Chain A
């Protein structure tokens, strides 16, 4: 079974440029997460989707960040314009959220390492 796929793996851009990251979750997983991991820190949630609906975007800096999950499968996270402080690893995770509720296990992709110069 394929895991969570992310691309690109690495991206170097100059500040004020736009950048986009792509994520394809594990087949059948209806919940998708974008996390940001700063150097020396644990991941922190940016946005969570259930199917195509963003159900938690409270930590997403909406002035420059946007995300979409059309058709409820793969997702794109965009930054425009990028700032120096956006340098981090952007991780995508997915899980299956059933009707019965209860905790589910999140599986992570390899991440995209963004460097803003």
Chain B
């Protein structure tokens, strides 16, 4: 079955510290992977995506993610967290087919302490 697992429900990081949010997927075909961020009362904003090529992808707001096929993972990282990064983060997987619905993980809530 196709699924996305985000093992950490809630993470607290000190401002200025590094961040890594974990994402593991189970998908029968070549996965296309996404990270979205959702602030309270807001919709989902795309942070970055992996379709093919370089397995380290850069996104907006200083985020990056690395696709590791052998580990079925697509972890999100940021070297220095800002207070404004506090939000909920969703990993999602889709197929190499236009118009395919995304399968989302349950999300990780990030809190940033001063």
Number of interface residues of A (CB under 8 A): 32
Q: Which residue of chain A lies nearest to B6 when distances are taken between CB atoms in the complex?
A: A42
The CA of A33 and the CA of B43, in the complex, are separated in Å by 14
Q: Which of A45, A108, A109 contacts B36 (CB 8 A)?
A: A108
Question: In the complex where A91-B43, A103-B32, A108-B43 touch, is A44 in contact with B51 (Cβ < 8 A)?
Answer: no
Binary interface encoding of chain A residues 74-91 relative to chain B, with 1 for a CB under 8 A from any of its CBs, else 0: 000000000000000001
Residues on A with C-beta less than 8 A from B100 are 103
- Are A104's CB and B99's CB within 8 A? yes
- Are A42's CB and B98's CB within 8 A? no
- Are B95's CB and A42's CB within 8 A? no
Number of interface residues of B (CB under 8 A): 27
Q: Which of B90, B92, B98, B104 contacts A97 (CB 8 A)?
A: B98
Residues on A with C-beta less than 8 A from B95 are 103
* A-B contact list, 14 entries, CB within 8 Å: A40-B106, A42-B90, A43-B90, A44-B104, A45-B102, A55-B99, A98-B98, A101-B97, A103-B32, A103-B51, A103-B95, A104-B99, A105-B34, A105-B49
- Seen from chain A, the residues whose Cβ lies within 8 Å of a Cβ on chain B are 4, 6, 31, 33, 35, 40-45, 48, 50, 55-56, 91, 93, 95, 97-98, 101-111, 113
